[in-house]
Structure 1
Amino acid sequence: MGKKIKVGLVGIGNCFSGLIQGIEYYRRNPKQQVIGLMHEKIGDYSIYDMEFVAGFDVGINKIGKTINEAIYESPNMVNWVPKQKMPKSSGRVYESPLLDGVGIWVENKVKPVKSKKTQEQITKEIKRKLDETGVEIIVSYLPVGSDKVTQYWAQTCLDTNTAFVNCIPSFIASEGKWGRKFAEKKIPVIGDDIKGQVGATIVHRTLAKLCDDRGTKIEKTYQINVGGNTDFLNMKEQERLVSKRISKTESVQSQLKQRLADDQIYVGPSDFIPFLGNTKLMFMRIEGRQWANIPYNMEVRLEVDDKANSAGIVIDAVRLAKLALDRKMGGPIIPACAYLMKHPPKQMSDPEAKNELEKFIKG
């Protein structure tokens, strides 16, 4: 067994619940192939070398609980391993500042704690817990639109020499000012906005690139997503979606030799359908022209469990951040950002990013 990677979690929602339960699922089923990773081992690190030593949240029903208890609390929906069979964790969930982390649509579901502490007091406590638990890497899975809280946690990482994995479309790794801060302090950062294993945007950009590479003329395209968890409920608040739309749209546009006009491409979350739960549906269409100006179109319907789709990617991101820490590298880890994230500092095609990341892993 390798040395443990000590991980802190920000936003103890469905995504982390699926990630942690998935690791336990494989632990209980050792003959099962571990699906969804680049490699079973990255460096010396397997999926079992991650230790979740601290969590941070604003939900009154999660703060103070152990991580293994908190991941089953409402409004979380993942239940792949029965709660009573989940091993007890020594890591606990502590209070995070609220700032812009809870949107108006989800406030009555999340039930944020009415804190009596000042932000300064909360920050002091967070830094103490990071030090006590030895957190090396913070993974942020905050709700979309949590720009101020994301910047708060990025600064906390800088203040405490902790690596940062940013899974949401609030731009840190891909924003020059923040990227330079992490580089100057020799702290790794991987972001922004995680690509699913086989998610809506990875499928869309791959098919758009295929059409482009095969010489067709793409004229217009859309991607519509619906789901039933708090992620989609949160995204009903249009003001929180600005960076999400930029991230998803640029991920597709970056694969085209000639950009589409803004009014000829739509990529974005579209609606909340409660009974879908963690099921995410994507509807995609590409319209264009072939030889002799003859029109063609394609439509794709993708149905995935939204949380199973991201867990393996996060596990790879954590192990790659640890590899960078071991090698004393700082700043955005470009190949990891390009392969794992929708809005990296440098866009690449997925085969190119995978090739560059394999080189990085080999050192």
Structure 2
Amino acid sequence: IHDKLAGYGIHDIDFVCGFDVGENKVGKLLHEAIYEYPNMVDWIAKDDLPKNEAMVYESPILDGVGVWVENRIKPIVSTKTPEQIAEEVKKIIKEKGVEIIVSYLPVGSDKVTEFWAQICLDTKTAFVNCIPSFIASDEKWAKKFEDANVPCIGDDIKGQVGATIVHRTLAKLCSDRGTKIEKTYQINVGGNTDFLNMKEQDRLASKRISKTESVQSQLKERLDDDQIYVGPSDFIPFLGNTKLMFMRIEGRQWANIPYNMEVRLEVDDKANSAGIVIDAIRLARIALDRGVGGPIKPASAYLMKHPIEQTSDAKAKDACEKFVAGN
């Protein structure tokens, strides 16, 4: 969203290491690992990507690999306990000078998310949580980050022009214009491992909460649970990184006359997310520079679906700009 944030440009970000569980990624350099199956990186040709010495290291699996994606990811067969890996990770963070950890774990990875949140607390490393396993918006974890004076931004990243940001913006518009929304849905389909993983319904509870609350928070009157559906719906392999969103709002306007609208959105799901996380990383660095710990509320409200404090996007943007300016 921003070219510069408190003087930091996107080229000021250094990728110093990565962590994964795929047997075809662990032990490789980052600029090689990102092109490994089942990743779908096609923005930059492999030979054109700048080389660096950032290595991909082992992460604990815990609950991070769902039944639908196990055959695609082919997780490494580890002989180490999570506790042993944690000690190794802490050493790597110190050796590499890691300042910020960004989590793009699969949806439903609650235990692994807590593992990395604790790593951040133990190493005084800022945490940017891009998935709907609640850390920055959870009172218990928020207090831990506050007490440790470690910044965290989360949870569940919004897209640059994504399904939820479009849905909540239009829902707020309808509400602000004095209409009464009676029901609404948002259906999403895609073809990458994110959508394949979300075929496992048991992993989706927090995702549905995150997306639904993001829309509900913009309405003057909450909809009954059976009058709103917001969530991922299915996996269509040939779509690849393309995400399709179908949204409908039904309501009543002046003189109790009904109206409805439908929107179809087509985006590259990962580029949509990358355009936001590049700001989140720099906002986390600003918080580190200023010695600010705990959930960074302006950044979380502006960039994430499930912040600890919901507000309108306009107010969140204004608060975020003030935070950057030091006000």
TM over 0.5: yes
- In structure 2, distance between residues paired with 1:159 and 1:358: 30
Which residue, out of 267, 270, 275, partners 1:307? 270
Give yes or no for the alignment of 1:270 onto 2:270. no
Q: Give 1:81 deviation, angstroms.
A: 1.2
Q: Give 1:124 deviation, angstroms.
A: 1.2
Matches within 5 A, 1:142-161: 142-161=105-124
Matches within 5 A, 1:266-345: 266-345=229-308
Which string of whole-angstrom CA distances, capped at 9 and with x for unpartnered residues, describes residues 53-104 of structure 1?
Answer: 0100000000000000000000001112111221211110000000000100
Q: Give 1:241 deviation, angstroms.
A: 0.3
Q: Give 1:341 deviation, angstroms.
A: 0.2
Give yes or no for the alignment of 1:244 onto 2:192. no
Which string of whole-angstrom CA distances, capped at 9 and with x for unpartnered residues, describes residues 306-356 of structure 1?
Answer: 011011210100000000000000000000000000000000100000000
User: Sequence identity, in percent?
Assistant: 76
Q: How many residues align?
A: 326
- In structure 2, distance between residues paired with 1:291 and 1:86: 56
Matches within 5 A, 1:14-93: 37=1, 39-93=2-56
Partner of 2:67: 104
Letter in 2 for 1:171: F
Which residue, out of 211, 215, 220, partners 2:178? 215
TM-score (norm 2): 0.99
Which string of whole-angstrom CA distances, capped at 9 and with x for unpartnered residues, describes residues 228-285 of structure 1?
Answer: 0000000000000000000000000000010000000000000000000000000000
Q: What is the RMSD computed on CA atoms of the aligned residues?
A: 0.6
- In structure 1, distance between residues paired with 2:57 and 2:67: 23
TM-score (norm 1): 0.89
Letter in 1 for 2:7: D
Letter in 1 for 2:84: Q
Detail structure 1 runs of 4+ shifted over 3 Å in the superposition: none
Partner secondary structure for residue 41 of structure 2: coil
- In structure 1, distance between residues paired with 2:115 and 2:190: 28
Q: Give 1:293 deviation, angstroms.
A: 1.0
Partner secondary structure for residue 5 of structure 2: coil
Partner of 2:147: 184
- In structure 2, distance between residues paired with 1:78 and 1:101: 21
- In structure 1, distance between residues paired with 2:305 and 2:160: 12
Partner secondary structure for residue 250 of structure 2: strand
- In structure 2, distance between residues paired with 1:165 and 1:69: 23
Gaps of 5+ in 2: none
Which string of whole-angstrom CA distances, capped at 9 and with x for unpartnered residues, describes residues 14-37 of structure 1?
Answer: xxxxxxxxxxxxxxxxxxxxxxx2
Partner of 1:8: none
Q: Give 1:120 deviation, angstroms.
A: 1.9
Partner secondary structure for residue 16 of structure 2: strand
